């Protein structure tokens, strides 16, 4: 095939995608009118792994609402290896079974005749969930797509990462729910210019805002009270999978164990690594060394390995040491001291990679440029020295609470129904 023929085919395919999108978006107004007249609204939550299901609170809210019938649809992750996809799928099914949540296995939304009025996807990326259950099946259906992202939006949007808010599924979304006015700004650079963005708060905010009395304490019991510090390293170590070297893990991993041993009578540590870190350490260190390191954290008297749900871990902690962008915002919900580990030469770039919301949270962190900074932070935590306490409380009150005095899930339901503050949506 010649060069010009290839260009022509590319232009034709792009034109076809635009026409499909325009036709679908023209149908949305009528679909919404039909939806809001229904006595029962069927809402499908498409899930493939439990760790990224951040709309469970919304699912439970809908279970108790007279006009909603939420449905869980489970499917394999197409982006993982078959072995890993199956492992995550079994973990998901085990979780749903323990909660007595009803679910259906889906392979193709059209063929399986799920017939949902609204569909929520766990993730908006076409390489995560198999194409058969992705939005391609919905374009010619009577379903509407809504999105409540699985993570707080901290990243600045640039030309290189514009896909984060302009993924094709987002263009088909009827409503995209965001945290606040600051994060709503990202919509201005999307193809739709933010017309489908609705400020409701996010279901994960409801979880992070829970009174800790509602949560179980996952920390290992100690003989006497100790300050509890979470150590949460990111996965961005340099290796064949990832050339981005942002994580400080390799620089401080042994030192953090030394600190746990040195202050064993005063500090309890929870090692909360990013789920991808172990896979990358297997390549960098080898399986034996990696497993031994994880096992060390799991078995010391004053430490533990925490790889699952973390809301309770946050709530019952006293401080965090990390280098993860998503936790930059999420841990500020706790209004407790935070140390961000960072290479001195990367501080400006790391901050500039965040949006205004993320930058404000980043500025509420102490910065760990060296091992000495880490130990000073640990000593400050022991002493209860927290000079940024008032600033964190102000940020919490101004930016972390969902609008209108409701939970985020209540706001999302009102937005779907076009009620109260969302009557013009």
* DSSP letters spanning 248-286: -HHHHHHHHHHHHHHTTTTEEEEE---TTHHHHHHHHT-
What are the domain boundaries of the chain? 3-209+403-422, 217-400
pLDDT along the chain (425 residues), means of 10: 65 75 86 95 91 90 97 79 79 93 81 80 68 63 87 75 73 92 83 90 94 94 96 83 73 97 98 89 93 97 91 97 91 97 90 91 96 98 95 95 96 97 91
Collapse the DSSP code of 193 into the 3-class scheme (helix H, G, I; strand E, B; otherwise coil) and give the result: coil
Q: How many residues does the structure list for the chain?
A: 425
Contact (Cβ atoms closer than 8 angstroms) between residue 266 and residue 226: yes
Contact (Cβ atoms closer than 8 angstroms) between residue 314 and residue 333: yes
Q: CA-to-CA distance for 378 and 267, rounded, in angstroms?
A: 8
To the question of domain 217-400 being in CATH 3.40.50.2000, the answer is yes
pTM of the model: 0.85
Residue 409: φ, ψ to 5°: -65, -40
Contact (Cβ atoms closer than 8 angstroms) between residue 147 and residue 200: no
Cα torsion 359, 360, 362, 366: sign: positive
Q: CA-to-CA distance for 24 and 173, rounded, in angstroms?
A: 10
Collapse the DSSP code of 369 into the 3-class scheme (helix H, G, I; strand E, B; otherwise coil) and give the result: coil
Q: What is the pLDDT of residue 26?
A: 87
Element (H, E) at 393: helix 389-395
Residue 222: φ, ψ to 5°: -120, 160
- CA dihedral in degrees (262, 267, 273, 274; nearest 10)? -130
- Give 39's Cβ-side CA count (13 Å radius): 0
- Give 215's Cβ-side CA count (13 Å radius): 19
Max Cα distance, the chain (Å) = 75
Q: CA-to-CA distance for 419 and 295, rounded, in angstroms?
A: 52
What architecture is the 3-209+403-422 domain classified under in CATH?
3-Layer(aba) Sandwich (3.40)
DSSP characters over 121-162: ES---TTTB-GGGSGGGTTTSS-EEEEE-SS---BPP-STTT
Q: What is the pLDDT of residue 279?
A: 84
- CA dihedral in degrees (385, 390, 396, 397; nearest 10)? 150
């Amino acid at each position: 095939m010649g060069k010009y023929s290839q260009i022509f085919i590319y232009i034709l395919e792009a034109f076809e995608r635009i026409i499909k999108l325009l036709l679908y978006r023209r149908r949305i107004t009528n679909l919404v009118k039909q939806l809001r007249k229904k006595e029962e609204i069927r809402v499908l939550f498409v899930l493939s792994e439990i760790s990224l299901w951040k709309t469970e609170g919304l699912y439970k809210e809908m279970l108790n609402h007279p006009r909603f019938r939420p449905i869980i649809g489970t499917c394999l992750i197409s982006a993982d290896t078959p072995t890993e996809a199956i492992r995550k799928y079994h973990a998901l099914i085990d979780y749903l079974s323990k909660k007595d949540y009803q679910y259906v296995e889906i392979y193709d939304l059209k063929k399986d005749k799920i017939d949902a009025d609204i569909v929520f996807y766990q993730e908006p990326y076409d390489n995560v969930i198999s194409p058969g259950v992705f939005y391609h099946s919905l374009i010619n259906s009577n379903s509407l797509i809504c999105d409540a992202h699985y993570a707080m939006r901290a990243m600045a949007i640039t030309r290189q990462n514009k896909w984060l808010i302009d993924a094709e599924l987002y263009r088909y979304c009827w409503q995209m729910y965001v945290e606040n006015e600051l994060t709503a700004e990202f919509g201005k650079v999307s193809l739709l210019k933010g017309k489908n963005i609705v400020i409701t708060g996010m279901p994960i905010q409801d979880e992070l805002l829970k009174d800790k009395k509602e949560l179980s304490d996952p920390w290992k019991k100690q003989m006497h009270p100790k300050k509890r510090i979470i150590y949460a390293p990111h996965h961005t170590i340099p290796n064949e999978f990832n050339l981005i070297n942002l994580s400080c893990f390799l620089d401080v991993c042994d030192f953090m164990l030394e600190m746990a041993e040195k202050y064993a009578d005063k500090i309890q540590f929870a090692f909360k690594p990013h789920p991808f870190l172990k896979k990358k350490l297997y390549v960098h260190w080898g399986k034996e060394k990696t497993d031994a390191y994880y096992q060390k954290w799991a078995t010391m008297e004053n430490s533990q390995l925490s790889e699952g749900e973390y809301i309770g871990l946050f709530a019952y902690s006293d401080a965090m040491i990390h280098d993860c962008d998503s936790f930059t915002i999420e841990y500020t919900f706790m209004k407790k001291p935070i140390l961000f580990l960072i290479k001195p030469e990367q501080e400006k770039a790391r901050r500039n990679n965040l949006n205004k919301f993320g930058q404000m949270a980043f500025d509420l962190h102490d910065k760990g440029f060296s091992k000495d900074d880490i130990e000073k932070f640990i000593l400050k935590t022991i002493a209860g020295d927290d000079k940024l306490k008032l600033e964190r409380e102000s940020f919490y009150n101004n930016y972390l609470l969902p609008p209108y005095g409701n939970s985020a899930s209540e706001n999302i339901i009102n937005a779907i129904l076009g009620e109260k503050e969302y009557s013009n949506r």
